[in-house]
Amino acid sequence: MALLEVKGIKKNFGKTKVLKGIDFELQKGEVLSIIGSSGSGKTTLLRCVNFLEFADEGTISIDGNVIYDGVKDKKIKDKELKAKRRHFGLVFQDFNLFPQYSVLKNLTLAPSLLGLGTKEELEKQAREIIARVDLSEKIDFYPCQLSGGQKQRVAIARALMLNPDILCFDEPTSALDPELTGEVLNVIKNLKDEGSTMIVVTHEMEFAKNVSDKIMFMADGVVEEIGTPEQIYENPQSEKTKTFLANSLEKF
């Protein structure tokens, strides 16, 4: 049974059809990279999966249990919404750290508000997780004292604090200078080695090829093609996929 199953997800903004029926599934421990041109619907799909947007149609299931039905779940109570979101951890492209709080406080704030442990327990957990992203020496620093790469690693650590079933990344390196991109991608590679289940929206073609179990190419709000990195990169079936890769792989 798949850990995550997404069926028939559709999303409109006014008269604009952004997602036109998205289907995919993800097994525990798999990494799915979503690639495609700007405007293809990648980020909207990720926001729907994380309940920052609500799909107009379709279902989202975890371990075979439907946690969202676009027809039935038009209004979700706040407590229920928080429970649904707990399945997912989302790392934004622009970090979204609280500038007024230290790294330690950024990590412990959400689990503290959710009552997931005592102050001592959460601080112990935060120190263990910040060590996993190699930032133990920065735990008392504030975001303004960190580089972009360090901020993104803190954002990843913050997402891990809630122990999500699936960790999601929305273009995690797009706000970084090229020399800082590698340190964030290395953290994601390490998470894969630890068995984390992840969805990564990315423009880093080489990274997607090397880290993903599956790659999904989106175009014009649909899944144009999905398969292993070898299938997508070496034997694409869709002309749109071929054109996109021909333009993107020139940058390798």
Residue-wise pLDDT tens digits, 2-32: 999 999 999 999 999 999 999 999 999 999 9
Which range of residues forms the domain containing residue 131? 98-163
Is the pLDDT assigned to residue 250 strictly greater than 80?
no
Query: ∠ CA(69), CA(73), CA(78), 5° rounding?
Result: 125
How far is Cα 93 from Cα 167, in angstroms, rounded to an integer?
Answer: 14
- Residue 108 located in a structural domain: yes
Nearest partner of 35 among 177, 141, 192, 171, judged by Cα: 171
- Residue 112 is assigned to a structural domain of this protein: yes
pLDDT band at 252 (very low <50, low <70, confident <90, very high): very low
Count up the domains in the chain and report the number. Answer: 1
Helices (H) and strands (E) in the chain, counts: 9, 10
Is 106 within the bounds of a domain? yes
Backbone angles phi, psi at 96, to 5 degrees: 60, 35
Instruction: Tell whether 81 is covered by a domain.
Output: no
For residue range 90-144, list pLDDT tens digits in order. Answer: 998 889 999 999 999 999 999 999 899 999 999 999 999 999 999 999 999 999 9
Taking the model in full, what pTM does it have? 0.93
